[in-house]
Structure 1
Amino acid sequence: MGTLSKNTIYFRQLNENFFTKYRGIDEFLKKNARGHGIMIMDYLDLLVAVPLRSSLKPYMKKQQFIFPYKVCNKGGKRCLKGMDFSKLIIMSEEDLQGSVGFVFQDDCEKQYYIDNYSKIVNRLGNYIKRYKRLCYQIQEGIQPSITQLRLYRYSTIRNFHESLGIHLSKESFILTLQERGLLGSK
């Protein structure tokens, strides 16, 4: 694919190798035909893939981890389309080898994300920074609120502590969720 540029969003359908590599991580979305918005975050120079989702529940439009596009009808049901930060993957450029451009059914959706690139990057950066702050609190023995924890309860972000420079282990984060009654025991 060549070198990726900052301040750009790429829409790719990732290949089978990508899904094989990441399939074992907690909370990973396994639908191979799913498109991803891929961007290099100025924050820590991370290459981040955010899945495009088309069957979210409409009430999720206000969730901090969703960048909503619009509510539409799908198979007789109302569904929300949008980018889901909670299912992000921090990846390397080699993960893009063999990927193909994602073809949107609605060209307006693609343009919407391109037009709102700065907002997407800002919200995604805030999502990551809040998570890092939350992990630091847990590490320092500060009890986080249920509201703070709920935002990351089903997130893939806990699989990328090393890339994010987080010293708290993933297992400690999961234990905190379990202790607060937000996850069952494994």
Structure 2
Amino acid sequence: MKTKYVHDLGPSLSPFNAWQILQGIETLDLRVSRQSATALTLAQHLAQHPKVTAVYHPGLPDNRWHALATRYLPRGVPSVFSFDLEGAEDADTQTRVAQVIDALEVVRLVANIGDARSLVSHPASMTHSHLNAAQRASAGISLKTIRLSAGLEDPADLIADLDRALARI
């Protein structure tokens, strides 16, 4: 009998897992709002940093998507954005990127994004590693691009962590 119900209805959640999902849904708006605000704060800071040449965040006024983000995202911009390190793409680019990422203590190197923790990834060697240089360029990704997903940590702690890491190059 149980087999028929599982087949027809699928397995059921345990009460604890169901409670966790409900808690997550009830606080989702608060978490996304915090992450969005933090990402914008980080993007604004990085846009002024001397070791960063470009920040790709629609919340910044000079971003090509800013007008559309203002129009279609009135409650906040995305919590995931990218930035490029200074310098030309050369033999030392991978080393500079690795130095920055390795120096981060609060922000973690992880393959996924959208977590409650702040995460960083290097698209050229991770998610877009199968593309050649021309394909990466057409996607707006260079060897010196770093992707950042803002979490729930204090923005001041994240800024200090990024500044400390960027000082390594």
Q: Which of the five TM-score ranges fits, normalised by the shorter chain?
A: under 0.3
TM-score by length of 1: 0.23
Q: Which has the higher strand share?
A: 1
- TM-score norm. by structure 2 comes to 0.24
Q: Which has the larger radius of gyration?
A: 2
